[in-house]
């Protein structure tokens, strides 16, 4: 599958399904002008989420996600960094494995231009990204702490 928009749509739908299975409501903004893709209602706390689809890089044997904002027009692609206030969490999805990485925005933004997700057991030491593999609890914990602050 080569179509980037289609991969993004599949990733969003996978996040929606997993969120619903977690018992959360899902809101979708109209259009794609916002710096986030979805809003999760976690026990009354709204969580802005940016969804990214990973692709397989055969040279490194890793799955990769570009962690920059991409705007396209007919002539060129423009990439820029996200801001910390743009969203609360990034959810990275590997379609081939049906695996999610859930990262707080500050950590997601802190990476360079790409995040490598190592799924092979080829290393003795797990990469930094591994602690976010299937870390859905980060969202519910964050929402609970926001709820207390209100």
Total count of domains within the chain: 1
> pTM (2 decimals)?
0.89
pLDDT tens across the length of the chain (150 residues): 558 889 999 999 999 999 999 999 999 999 878 899 999 999 999 999 999 999 999 998 889 998 887 766 667 677 778 889 999 999 999 999 999 999 999 999 998 788 989 887 765 677 788 899 999 999 999 999 876 655
What CATH number should be reported for the domain holding residue 143?
3.40.1350.10
Strands 45-53 and 89-94: parallel
Contacts of 86 (CB under 8 A, 6+ apart): 35, 36, 48, 50, 69, 105
Whole-angstrom CA distances from 61 to 5, 10, 55, 67, 103 are 23, 22, 10, 19, 22
- Domain of 24, in residue numbers: 4-149
Closest CA to 63 of 125, 150, 149, 133: 133
């Amino acid at each position: 599958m080569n179509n980037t928009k289609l991969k993004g749509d599949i990733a969003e739908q996978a996040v929606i399904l997993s969120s619903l299975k977690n018992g959360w409501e899902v809101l979708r903004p109209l259009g794609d002008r916002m710096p986030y893709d979805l809003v999760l209602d976690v026990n009354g706390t709204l969580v802005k989420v940016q969804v990214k689809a990973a692709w397989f890089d055969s040279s490194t044997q890793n799955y990769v996600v570009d962690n920059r904002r991409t705007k396209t027009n007919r002539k060129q692609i423009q990439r820029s960094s996200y801001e910390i206030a743009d969203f609360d969490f990034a959810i990275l999805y590997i379609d081939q494995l049906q695996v999610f990485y859930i990262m707080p925005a500050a950590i997601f933004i802190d990476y360079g231009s790409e995040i490598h997700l190592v799924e092979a057991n080829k290393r003795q030491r797990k990469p930094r990204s591994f602690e976010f593999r299937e870390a859905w609890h980060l969202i519910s914990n964050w929402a609970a702490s926001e709820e207390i602050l209100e």
